[in-house]
């Protein structure tokens, strides 16, 4: 269904017929991307009234290529396999490839909205400008239109991959400088000298694309990373990892198996000039890329150390070398930013909100964040479980159930991550998907 058709059937919490009690039970969901859709679906399934406020004119968020909120580029595919990414009760179609293109992802989201009747509950073109506590409880939500709503509960699902993070370098670059979220098509790089900054999955993908179009492509790395192929003997690599987790392989054995598998497919990246990792496998977010090694080996991508400064078109590296560039693409990640609500409301600690399971406020029962995770595999199914747990808790809270009281005690406890990640901004939201999903499933079952 097109956004224009869907937006004709929205309803307003300001309707005179709706009592204050009814408005306090209604949930405001901010964002109709992959996370917001899962929250709306599960709240409706639990019989909880919901309004989803989306600033764009269509759903899909980051996966709606061409929308202002989208960070994906034209050639973007899933980095995790479809079976470890899909929603729990709505499989990605069998005829989709293992790593679908973003156009297929958006088609999937629209089918999800059709299947579960989500369109009438989404208000498109409704940008949230400010959210504050109501004087007598609930949340006052002010829209960019000037309209102010009162809601009893709030779920923030605006995503965290939209506020670009840039390195702090000395000097000023005179060429074209852009963030990976602004990069869309390789025509921008055609025949130019390109430096890609950062070896995350986006940085490696863009470097590979640049190698096929630019006059020169260089990739600068702060440290060495472990690389895994997308497939091992025809099986997506994250499915291989999932099997080892289900078979209860200990971490050391999973590291051995993954290292051997990577060696058999990719060899040793250090043989081609990539720096040796300074950490154990899985202690950083996995880099899933089978092509980078190929283009590095062919000399189409030159690996460089960290940047220390820029001067006009010259970039200076930490090993004392320097080179001239026309374009710098910063694949340096994103800041965690939730601009429309005070940080104090989110129990913000250091660089991130401190929430139980990255979802539940330790003290408040009317405020949640969905999708505030960086898993080592697919995300939508995990957020689906988050949304199921939010819905279960609200049901028990509304009923005054002892299970709600039990869960309130649980959400005051910190979660221990089974893997110690390298301390960096890149891992502020990192979760090991298997243990995280099992914990959500156990809590869902206990709430019943």
User: Closest by alpha carbon to 285, among 166, 434, 429, 160?
Assistant: 429
Q: For residue 127, is pLDDT > 70?
A: yes
> Higher model confidence: residue 126 or residue 6?
126
Q: What is the pLDDT of residue 285?
A: 84
Which phi-psi region, left, alpha or beta, contains residue 446 (left: φ > 0; alpha: ψ -120 to 50)? alpha
CA 403/CA 414 separation, integer angstroms? 19
pLDDT, tens digit, 9 for 90 and up, residues 36-75? 999 999 999 999 999 999 999 999 999 999 999 899 999 9
Q: What is the pLDDT of residue 415?
A: 79
Q: For residue 13, is pLDDT > 80?
A: no
Q: What is the pLDDT of residue 22?
A: 79
Total-model pTM: 0.93
Domain CATH for 173: 3.50.50.60
pLDDT, tens digit, 9 for 90 and up, residues 210-257? 999 999 999 999 889 999 999 999 999 999 999 999 999 999 999 999
CA 241/CA 259 separation, integer angstroms? 11
Q: What is the mean pLDDT of residues 79-88?
A: 97
With tokens 């891992």, the residue in question is 427
Cβ count within 10 A of residue 63: 23
pLDDT, tens digit, 9 for 90 and up, residues 367-418? 999 999 999 999 999 999 999 999 999 999 999 999 999 999 999 988 788 8
pLDDT, tens digit, 9 for 90 and up, residues 181-205? 999 999 999 999 999 999 889 999 9
Alpha-carbon dihedral of residues 420, 424, 428, 431, nearest 10 degrees? -40
For residues 350 and 435, state if they share a domain.
yes
Q: What is the pLDDT of residue 106?
A: 98
Last residue in a domain, options 330, 359, 377: 330
Q: For residue 12, is pLDDT > 80?
A: no
Last residue in a domain, options 315, 330, 345: 330
Average pLDDT, the chain: 92
For residues 143 and 174, state if they share a domain.
no
For residues 186 and 325, state if they share a domain.
yes
Domain housing 386: 3-163+334-447
Antiparallel, parallel or unpaired: β 287-288 and 122-124? unpaired
For residues 407 and 302, state if they share a domain.
no
Per-residue confidence band for 272, with pLDDT thresholds at 50, 70 and 90? confident
For residues 404 and 289, state if they share a domain.
no
> Higher model confidence: residue 13 or residue 395?
395
> Higher model confidence: residue 86 or residue 200?
86
For residues 159 and 213, state if they share a domain.
no
Full DSSP string of 171-237: S-B-SEEEETTT---GGGGTTSEEEEE--SHHHHHHHHHHHTTSSEEEEE-SSB--EE-SEETTEEH
Q: What is the pLDDT of residue 351?
A: 87
Q: What is the pLDDT of residue 23?
A: 84
Percent of the chain with pLDDT over 70: 96
Per-residue confidence band for 17, with pLDDT thresholds at 50, 70 and 90? low
Chain-centre distance of CA 56, in angstroms? Answer: 18
For residues 175 and 30, state if they share a domain.
no
Query: How many domains does the chain divide into?
Result: 2
User: Closest by alpha carbon to 160, among 275, 326, 31?
Assistant: 31
Q: What is the mean pLDDT of residues 130-140?
A: 94
Q: For residue 5, is pLDDT > 80?
A: no
For residues 310 and 349, state if they share a domain.
no
CA 35/CA 39 separation, integer angstroms? 6
Last residue in a domain, options 330, 365, 393: 330
For residues 438 and 405, state if they share a domain.
yes
For residues 250 and 292, state if they share a domain.
yes
For residues 326 and 356, state if they share a domain.
no
pLDDT, tens digit, 9 for 90 and up, residues 412-433? 988 788 888 888 777 888 999 9
With tokens 């006009």, the residue in question is 312
For residues 360 and 245, state if they share a domain.
no
């Amino acid at each position: 269904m097109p956004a224009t058709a869907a937006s004709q059937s929205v309803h307003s919490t300001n309707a005179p017929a709706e009592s204050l009690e009814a408005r306090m039970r209604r949930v405001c969901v901010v964002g109709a991307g992959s996370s917001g859709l899962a929250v709306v679906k599960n709240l409706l399934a639990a019989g909880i009234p919901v309004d989803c406020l989306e600033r764009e004119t269509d759903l899909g968020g980051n996966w709606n290529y061409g929308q202002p909120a989208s960070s994906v580029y034209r050639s973007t595919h899933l980095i995790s396999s479809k079976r470890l990414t899909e929603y729990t009760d709505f499989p990605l179609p069998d005829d989709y490839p293992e790593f679908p293109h973003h156009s297929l992802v958006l088609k999937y989201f629209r089918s999800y909205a059709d299947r579960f009747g989500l369109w009438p509950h989404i208000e498109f073109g409704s940008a949230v400008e400010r959210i504050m506590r109501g004087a007598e409880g609930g949340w006052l939500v002010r829209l960019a239109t000037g309209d102010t709503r009162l809601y009893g509960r709030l779920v923030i699902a605006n995503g965290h991959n939209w506020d670009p993070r840039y390195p702090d370098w000395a000097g000023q670059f005179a060429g074209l400088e852009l963030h990976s979220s602004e990069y869309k098509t390789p025509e921008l790089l055609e025949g130019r000298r390109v430096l890609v900054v950062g070896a995350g999955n986006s940085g490696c993908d863009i470097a590979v694309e640049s190698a096929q179009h630019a006059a020169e492509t260089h990739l600068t790395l702060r440290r060495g990373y472990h690389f895994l192929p997308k497939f091992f003997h025809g099986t997506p690599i994250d499915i291989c990892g999932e099997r080892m987790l289900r078979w209860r392989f200990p971490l050391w054995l999973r590291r051995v198996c993954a290292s051997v598998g990577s060696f058999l497919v990719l060899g040793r990246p250090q043989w081609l000039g990539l720096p040796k990792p300074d950490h154990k496998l899985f202690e950083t977010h996995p880099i899933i890329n089978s092509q980078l090694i190929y283009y590095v080996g062919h000399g189409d991508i030159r690996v460089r150390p960290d940047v220390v400064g820029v001067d006009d078109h010259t970039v200076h590296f930490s090993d004392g070398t320097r080179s001239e560039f026309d374009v710098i693409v910063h694949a340096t990640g994103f800041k965690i930013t939730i601009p429309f609500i005070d940080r104090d409301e989110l129990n913000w600690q250091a660089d991130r909100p401190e929430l139980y399971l990255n979802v539940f406020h330790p003290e408040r029962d009317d405020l949640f964040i969905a999708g505030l995770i960086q898993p080592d595999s697919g995300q939508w199914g995990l957020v689906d479980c988050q949304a199921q747990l939010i819905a279960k808790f609200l049901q028990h809270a509304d009923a005054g159930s002892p299970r709600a009281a039990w869960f309130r005690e649980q959400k005051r406890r910190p979660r221990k991550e089974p893997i110690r990640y390298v301390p960096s901004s890149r891992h502020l939201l990192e979760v090991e998907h298997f243990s995280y999903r099992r914990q959500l499933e156990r809590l869902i079952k206990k709430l019943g």
